[in-house]
């Protein structure tokens, strides 16, 4: 098997990092607009008279079905069109629908606007993954994608802090208005300052294949993803990880307010800080460590999240049984630190395991599986169990729902171990990262 290097894009290191940090800011707004419903859940519930299942649907399946459904065709388009244009247009679209959420007067209207947010956000990450992979070498992609993935904890932090503060001072509708406007401005910045790089310019191509072959038909690319054992196991493990992560992100604020007695202002001040700092450290560290250890043994791309989720198990019991919100918040810090440790390694595995002409669609399929399982089911799972337990346990029903996440975490660990077994046997990954 021969491995040939393809000429790299002619850009400076400082420009490459400027691009990835700018895309991370876009992703921050992406995640902020996606998760803002969680911090606004209690005032929305009281104003629109919603139950926990409906709240879970707004953060979960109502958003996820359109986010995942549009992600694959957008990924297919991005393998053929200018990715920068797609990212910019998507950012403007989801920001507009976020602002419109503030006009909703009932569940149906809010659900329709959340669908619009999902359609827009479908055009954010898959093209960004592909763009970043064309700016960074395979051995650098874990770190670069970790920088991009900082948008998850950063968006959660700013959404909780700013959204909570604005809602406390001016109402939840104003919070939606304020959060929607910056994305429209940022969309223009991306269009003006980010260059479209040559596809596959930094790749080692095995078996004499051309990095610049035309992208295959949509169903061929999707079939190729699901016929690859490593990609399927990685996506399934990532989906279960996201199930736990999105359930926590959605329900931590209502849990702290209902069960532990925190005010909305306290959640905005303290929870957002814990969520942001721990999440950013964990997300970046996982990608950086995966690059370092993965160069020696590729299985670390899956071992890292398996170990991370194992460590979180006792802290879920601590969250539920903590006598005060302060102790509960300390316990929340550990899952917040470790829940996103799967993301950058999973992205690196997928981006390195497929040819450059399939990267965007493969990233979109990963997000389809990840979000259908995680975002689609995680928040609704907790909300439904909480509603079922409410007759007997009252507001403490969320504690029962949180404990129901522990068996899911155990299954998640096993899924990552299965992924590690397959990663060790993947020949393309061996060619890409050694």
Query: Hey, which of 188-192, 266-270, 372-376, 420-424 has the most confident mean pLDDT?
Result: 188-192
Q: Tell me how far apart the alpha carbons of residues 300 and 287 are, in angstroms, rounded to a whole number.
A: 11
User: For the segment 50-61, what is each residue's pLDDT rounded down to a tens digit?
Assistant: 988 888 888 778
SS3 265: helix
| Residue 2 burial by Cβ neighbours in a 10 Å radius (0-12, 13-18, 19+) | exposed
The phi and psi torsions of 280 (rounded to 5 degrees) equal -65, -40
Distance CA 165, CA 267 (A): 9
Question: Dihedral angle at the C-alpha atoms of 428, 418, 344, 57, nearest 10 degrees?
Answer: 130
pLDDT tens per residue, range 233-279: 999 999 999 999 999 988 999 999 999 999 988 988 899 899 889 98
Q: What are phi and psi of 186, to 5 degrees?
A: -65, -35
**Calpha distance 337→335 (Å, rounded):** 5
Say which residue, 136 or 314, is predicted with more confidence.
314
Query: Which residues neighbour 157 within 8 Å (Cβ) at sequence distance 6 or greater?
Result: 272, 273, 275, 276, 277, 279, 280
Sequence-ordered list of residues with C-beta below 8 angstroms from that of 288, at least 6 positions apart, any chain:
142, 143, 146
> Does the domain at residues 11-199+218-433 carry the CATH identifier 1.20.1250.20?
yes
pLDDT of 429 reads 56
State the Cα–Cα distance between residues 94 and 109, nearest whole angstrom. Answer: 16
Taking the C-alpha atoms of residue 140 and residue 124, their distance in angstroms, rounded to an integer, is: 21
> Which tens digits make up the pLDDT trace of 332-382?
999 999 998 898 889 888 878 888 778 778 888 898 899 889 988 999 999
pTM score: 0.76
pLDDT per residue over 297-317, tens digit each?
888 999 999 999 999 999 999
- Joined together, the tokens standing for residue 255 give 């849990």
374-419 per-position pLDDT tens digit: 988 999 999 999 999 998 988 899 999 999 999 999 999 999 999 9
The domain limits of the chain are 11-199+218-433
């Amino acid at each position: 098997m021969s491995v040939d290097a393809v000429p790299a894009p002619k850009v400076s290191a400082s420009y490459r990092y400027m691009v990835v940090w700018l895309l991370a800011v876009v992703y921050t707004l992406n995640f902020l607009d996606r998760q803002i419903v969680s911090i606004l859940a209690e005032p929305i519930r009281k104003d629109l008279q919603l139950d926990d299942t409906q709240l879970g649907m707004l953060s979960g399946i109502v958003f996820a079905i359109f986010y995942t459904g549009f992600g694959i065709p957008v990924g297919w388009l991005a393998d053929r069109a200018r990715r920068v244009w797609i990212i910019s247009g998507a950012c403007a679209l989801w920001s507009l629908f976020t602002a419109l959420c503030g006009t909703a007067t009932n569940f149906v209207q809010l659900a329709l606007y959340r669908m619009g947010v999902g359609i827009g956000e479908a055009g954010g990450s898959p093209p960004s993954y592909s763009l970043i992979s064309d700016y960074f070498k395979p051995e650098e992609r874990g770190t670069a994608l970790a920088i991009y993935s900082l948008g998850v904890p950063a968006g959660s932090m700013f959404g909780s802090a700013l959204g909570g503060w604005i809602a406390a001072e001016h109402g939840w509708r104003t919070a939606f208005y304020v959060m929607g406007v910056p994305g429209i401005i940022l969309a223009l910045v991306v269009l003006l300052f980010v260059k479209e790089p040559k596809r596959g310019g930094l790749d080692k191509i095995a078996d004499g294949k051309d990095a610049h072959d035309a992208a295959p038909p949509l169903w061929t690319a999707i079939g190729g993803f699901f016929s690859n054992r490593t990609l399927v196991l990685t996506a399934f493990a990532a989906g279960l990880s996201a199930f736990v992560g999105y359930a926590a992100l959605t329900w931590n604020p209502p849990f702290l307010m209902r069960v532990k007695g925190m005010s909305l202002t306290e959640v905005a001040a303290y929870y957002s800080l814990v969520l942001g700092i721990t999440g950013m450290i964990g997300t970046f560290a996982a990608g950086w460590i995966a690059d370092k250890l993965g160069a020696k043994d590729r299985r670390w791309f899956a071992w890292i999240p398996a170990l991370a989720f194992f460590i979180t198990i006792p802290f879920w019991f601590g969250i539920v049984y903590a006598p005060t919100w302060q102790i509960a918040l300390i316990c929340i810090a550990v899952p917040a630190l470790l829940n996103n440790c799967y993301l950058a390694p999973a992205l690196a595995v997928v981006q390195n395991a497929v040819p450059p002409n399939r990267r965007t669609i493969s990233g979109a399929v990963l997000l389809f599986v990840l979000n259908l399982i995680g975002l689609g089911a995680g928040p609704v799972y907790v909300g439904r169990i909480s509603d079922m337990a409410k007759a007997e346990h009252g507001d403490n029903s969320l504690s029962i729902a949180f404990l129901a996440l522990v068996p899911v975490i155990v299954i998640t660990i096993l899924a990552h171990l299965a992924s590690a077994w397959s990663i060790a046997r993947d020949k393309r990954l061996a060619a890409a990262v050694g």
